[in-house]
A and B are shown apart, each in its own frame.
Chain A
Amino acid sequence: GQNIDQPTEMTATEGAIVQINCTYQTSGFNGLFWYQQHAGEAPTFLSYNVLDGLEEKGRFSSFLSRSKGYSYLLLKELQMKDSASYLCAVVDSNYQLIWGAGTKLIIKP
């Protein structure tokens, strides 16, 4: 079967750094997405990785290791508005998107 694992919930402090992990076992791999979803809102695209390594976009970075079936999203200089759920999705060998259940990130002042 195909499986995406993410922690259910994480708590961090405003101004700090947090790393949200995603591990996957899928039939093939053709890329990995991270989406942000504020409560009651639509998911919005954050990042895409298909090659190993780190992709940086301002305060957000995403890392991929294909050999380990592992990715993480790194959020720096946390702001209250970063309180949201973060969804990991893997593109399998059939170019289907397989979604994790999401990680709810709570930011405390």
Chain B
Amino acid sequence: NAGVTQTPKFRVLKTGQSMTLLCAQDMNHEYMYWYRQDPGMGLRLIHYSVGEGTTAKGEVPDGYNVSRLKKQNFLLGLESAAPSQTSVYFCASSPRTHWDGANVLTFGAGSRLTVL
């Protein structure tokens, strides 16, 4: 009963380096999301996907790219990391986007990224 799994949990990067965060879900959910969480701010949506092979921009997409080649996986890439991308990143999934008490987000445990 893994739910949503994120790797890695922690990473330190130097400015300009690239990296990929991996998210995997085993609930057969159609929708997947990448959020970032910063102190004093609400969760902000970076990118999301409404199904295999599709991606869309969220509220703060600049500096990030995503891919969803398989339904269960959603990758978040940073091509050239910047200190402003220091954050905790959460992946989430849901069966659909018509929100109600039965359709809720299931989050991964988070990936803490520091960019020096």
Query: Is the CB–CB distance between B110 and A41 below 8 Å?
Result: yes
CA separation between A26 and B109, bound complex, in Å?
A: 28
Chain B residues whose CB sits within 8 angstroms of the CB of A102 once the complex forms: 42
Q: Could you say which of B42, B90, B97, B105 has the most chain A C-beta atoms within 10 Å of its C-beta?
A: B42
Min CB distance, B6 to chain A, in Å? 9
A-B contact count (CB 8 A): 53
Min CB distance, A28 to chain B, in Å? 13
Q: How large is the interface on A (under 10, 10 to 19, 20 to 34, 35 or more residues)?
A: 20 to 34
Query: Is the CB–CB distance between A42 and B110 below 8 Å?
Result: yes
Q: Of A11-19, A66-74, A92-100, which binds chain B?
A: A92-100
State whether the Cβ of A54 lies closer than 8 Å to any Cβ in chain B: no
State whether the Cβ of A48 lies closer than 8 Å to any Cβ in chain B: yes
CA separation between A54 and B109, bound complex, in Å?
A: 30
State whether A95 and B97 are in contact (beta carbons under 8 Å apart), knowing that A42-B90, A42-B110, A43-B90 are contacts in the complex: yes
Query: Is the CB–CB distance between B101 and A48 below 8 Å?
Result: yes
Chain B residues whose CB sits within 8 angstroms of the CB of A33 once the complex forms: 99, 104
CA separation between A8 and B109, bound complex, in Å?
A: 22
Query: Is the CB–CB distance between A41 and B109 below 8 Å?
Result: yes
Min CB distance, B100 to chain A, in Å? 6
From the candidates A40, A44, A48, A100, name the one contacting B107 in the complex (CB within 8 A).
Answer: A44
6 contacts between A and B (CB under 8 A): A33-B104, A40-B110, A87-B42, A95-B97, A95-B98, A101-B40
Query: Chain A residues in contact with chain B, CB under 8 A?
Result: 4, 8, 30-31, 33, 35, 40-45, 47-48, 50, 87, 89, 91, 95-102
